[in-house]
Amino acid sequence: MKTMMLVLLFLAGAAQAQLRYGHVYYGHPQMKWSLPDNNLHTFDTGRVANITEQRFNQIIDEVMAIWTPVAAAKGIKLMVEKRWSDPTVNASASQSGKTWMVNMYGGLARRPEVTEDGFALVVCHELGHHFGGYSFYGRTDWASAEGESDFFATNVCAKYIWGKEQQRNSLYRRLRGTPPVVQQACDTVWNGNANAQAWCIRTALGGHSLATLLHSIGGRQAAPPPSFDTPDKSVVTKTSVSHPKAQCRLDTYFSGALCTAKWDLNVIPAKGFSGGQDTPQAEAEAMKYSCFTAGGHKVGVRPACWFKPLNSGFRR
């Protein structure tokens, strides 16, 4: 009897932990996470770093305000859980019928690597699982792949949440320390549009914040820190749906900021596509809304470190 009571108490404690800490759910097949499984929650002290609880809530609300009506137009109820007290260093998304969820955790916001813009891009990444479209986790899976969600965060979401913040964006045009490669690329691609040039720099630097965090998760000795000057030269033979490495993700964030294709808020590219979401035809459908070399784009394409196109014409 005593042993049975101990087991029951253990199970009750585990259940309570599941309710409290998001990191316990890493094995849940329906949850899509922004970052790889990690133990950084064990270092969370609850102390504020770059983002206060007030800003944590405000940033989430600002991003969700753009996408909630987009979801509603599709008959979807978009919901967010703002779990400031949860030390999980991550974010997650899930779907249950017509209810689409985003979960944001305070442990992520309290990391010293994470800036306000970087945190906003994580919210965008989770929305990317819902709205990013091709490429997907699988032929019939609801979720966009990890690299695709990264690309959506900067290529689409950031443009909508920051595109009209001209005064705030202008600060980034005068920001000291901006890597020359970022300044030059943003100025060239968005030539003649000062606001877009500044927004592009802002987006790229927000992505660098997240890539730096990813480097911490991977172990600082595992690889050099991510840099705009050292793009990942690896080439996959098949599109990877899992979390790319830190440098590859930085390259993806930057490429998204440089993509000039026009997005359609009414569309989730190739979702539920006849014949499968992982076909050349599905990819061709997605080309209408994003940057692909086969579609004639020379910059702003998905990096080959995680993406393998199904249609011809791809070049690094």
* Amino acid, single-letter form, for residue 142: W
CA–CA gap between residue 103 and residue 94 (Å, rounded): 9
Inside any domain, residue 259: yes
* Amino acid, single-letter form, for residue 9: L
Tokens representing 306? 């995680």
Domain range holding 69? 31-295
Length of the chain: 316
Query: Are the CB atoms for 100 and 76 separated by under 8 Å?
Result: yes
Dihedral sign of CA atoms 70, 90, 216, 213 in order: positive
CA–CA gap between residue 94 and residue 97 (Å, rounded): 10
Q: What is the mean pLDDT of residues 62-90?
A: 96
* Amino acid, single-letter form, for residue 20: R
Query: Are the CB atoms for 282 and 270 separated by under 8 Å?
Result: yes
In the chain, % of residues over pLDDT 90: 78
Inside any domain, residue 99: yes
Inside any domain, residue 302: no
Inside any domain, residue 257: yes
Inside any domain, residue 315: no
Inside any domain, residue 251: yes
Q: Picking from 79-88, 171-180, 236-245, which range would have the lowest pLDDT averaged per residue?
A: 171-180
- pLDDT tier at 315, thresholds 50, 70, 90: very low
Q: Which residue has the tokens 């702003």?
A: 300
CA–CA gap between residue 79 and residue 71 (Å, rounded): 10
Number of domains forming the structure of the chain: 1
Alpha helix segments (H runs only) across the chain: 2-20, 53-72, 106-109, 116-131, 146-152, 158-162, 166-173, 180-189, 194-218, 246-258, 280-286
Query: Are the CB atoms for 138 and 114 separated by under 8 Å?
Result: no
Q: What is the pTM of this model?
A: 0.89
Inside any domain, residue 139: yes
Inside any domain, residue 6: no
| Tens of pLDDT, residues 126-140 | 999 999 999 999 999
* Amino acid, single-letter form, for residue 147: G
- pLDDT tier at 115, thresholds 50, 70, 90: very high
Q: Is the predicted pLDDT of residue 1 greater than 70, yes or no?
A: no
